[in-house]
Structure 1
Amino acid sequence: MPGTTAAELGRRIETHRLARRLTRRQVCDAAGVSVSTLRKVEGGERTPSDAVLDALARALGVTADALLDGPGRSDSRVHQAIPEIRRVIAAYDLPDDGPIRPLPELAVAVTAAVEDRVQSQYARLAEQVPALLAELFRAVDQMNGRERKQAARLLALAVRSADALAYKYGHRDLSARLVELMRWAADLAGDPALSAAAAYVRMETHFAAHQLGPGLRALQAAVDRMPAPVSEPLAAAAAALHMRAAVAAGRMRQADVAREHLREAGVLAGQVREGLYDGTAVGPDSLEIHRLSVAVELGDPSDLHTAVAGAARWAPPRSLPAERRSHYYIDLGRAQRHLGRPRHAAESLLVARQIAPQHVREHGHVRAELAAAVRLTRGRDSRVLALARWARAV
């Protein structure tokens, strides 16, 4: 069972059992195994043989692969666009011939792609982004001087939008390639704020590889390379790096480091108006959302209680992008679940789904939290169960 621990497998088996409202005795009778064996398997104390796993899967009405691998990919139209994105970027430096719109028109198209990304309109974005990338590769290839730098800037933002599709829908190898292309385009553009945005996005690669230490060092190096924050875009870029570094440090349970990055982010975010800067939402409201994220990653009960209490007094304004607002409610649900409030957690995730359903359904934390909520409620809360099935957590 490569890549799957006994504990993970046990949790998945228990989640599927509870979601079907089956007792251990019922599953064991159907599978022909002892109750003590199933108890040890669910508790992560024992790894089942292939024969036992197959029998348990049949009793639960799932496949053994589903138990081993966890939730699979959705059937979203986004996946249909992935092969074309791969084809287009394979020849990024030798693009096919074709038309190129004037730069102002390309800027409008890129702005629309960025808006689709931050509003979590991924299916619509997937329809447009392959052709847009191809056109921008041609523009960078054929233009010179200042125009080439402008085209490279637009390309970096478009590539970031394509990366959102690859990363969120599980195509991690493609995401890593797109991140490198974003960095390449940002270097061509010669804009330090845009290069910082590329460093911000690069952290996804480290998150996916569970390489938080190198990722945190890369973020710190990007901070060190930043010029003095003498303009709003530069201050926003530096604030974004500190916010992401705070989350990474929180996930590593380095509380002092996480809080120091939050402090630095607070100073910088206070210098800018809330808004999108090179595709990243930055400002006082975004900082507040990251405070909750860091509290959840650190997992300190005192911080979690404070964060959940704060949610009764503050909510992300509707002017923020849908993706950012839904992140807040996902993290709020995580905090509530950690505090043993699965029904409140489900309510927060329902709010997140209302804001950005495509984002929530593809979010790995959502599935993990809903599976945990199913176990905490013993499969008896119909709302939790319905949401878990919608998100393919069971």
Structure 2
Amino acid sequence: MLLWIGIGLIVAAVAPYIVYLIGINIGKKPGKPPVLEEYPPISIIISAYNEEAVIQKRVENILASSYPADRYEVIFVDDCSSDNTRVLAEEAFRKAGITHRIIANTERLGTNRSYNKAMQMARFPIVVTTDADVFFEREALAHLIARLVSDERIAAVCGDLHPLPDDGSHPAQMESAYRNYYGRMCSWESAVDSTYTFNGALVAFKRDLVTRIDDKRGADDANTAFEAIRRGYRAVYEPSALVYEDIPRDFHTQYRQKIRRATRLIEATTANLDLLRHARPFSRFFYPLRIYMYLATPALFFIGSALFIVGLALASTTLAFGLLCLFALIGYFRRSSTIVSFTTNQVYLAKGLLNLGKDMRVWESTSNKLGTG
């Protein structure tokens, strides 16, 4: 009996993922963004804390973009860094010849509040928010903005985040497996209506439609998307706007990073439940699936797995032990496998649920490792 109850709970846990698997394979696909005939002026906002190891390369990366340097300004917010981030950022921007302004917070504000502060100073109607420790491809900004201005119903767009292409570490392999599926899920949602599971590494929005990012609960990226959706507009995922992050080499650092992200995503999810009343595909279909995935799936999966193993052990101890050993071997040698990625993600979500209520608005840098290699 325990065996079959466990199987039933596991099936219930993965049900929304099966729906997405079907959708991303046979559902509506997003078309390519149009080619920009004219580059609209944009304000790029970067919020940073202790990023001295990467800030010079980040500024060089922005300058190397195909987006003309005379069509953007950069507002750099230093969130009380204890290292030389602000000084090095000022030097790098000046050397690159990029129009910029530096804001030095007098207290730690976190990403959301720093972005809101900088948005008040933005000169242009399109705002791009991006991290200090990521690197986007040359055409990423152009693709992102092209998608944003291609449809008056689109208020916000995010890029497609992946580990650095040459990173073959085990944490990067696991993250790559997760990101590949994650991006396809978001692309399907976007093709039909909207997605709120944005990548904060690269987001663009129309400032007259997204006037403020909720800075009390939730992640800046998801809250930006929710603000667009709440106003009746679309928030979409642009897979051709590629951006890369350097994944922490050790699992402990990656674990802290993923838990923080999971917590803030769940916070944003639970803070916008009133949108379920809206009559649109996002509210009637995708949002309920996401709520189920983040709030119900982790518990169903782990309880179901425990009951399955206990039930199997009662029937055959050898078989149960062999199955556990097999999973352990898969986890060690095939960390990029779907089953390992799914299980790891459930751990992050479960821990994120337990963290609800804690103030997660400020962060710690995970890019200092770049300065040592």
Shorter-chain TM-score tier? under 0.3
Give the helix-richer structure, 1 or 2.
Answer: 1
TM-score, normalised by the number of residues in structure 2: 0.27
TM-score, normalised by the number of residues in structure 1: 0.26
Give the strand-richer structure, 1 or 2.
Answer: 2
Structure with more relative contact order (C-alpha pairs < 8 Å, separation 6 or more): 2
| The structure with more radius of gyration | 1
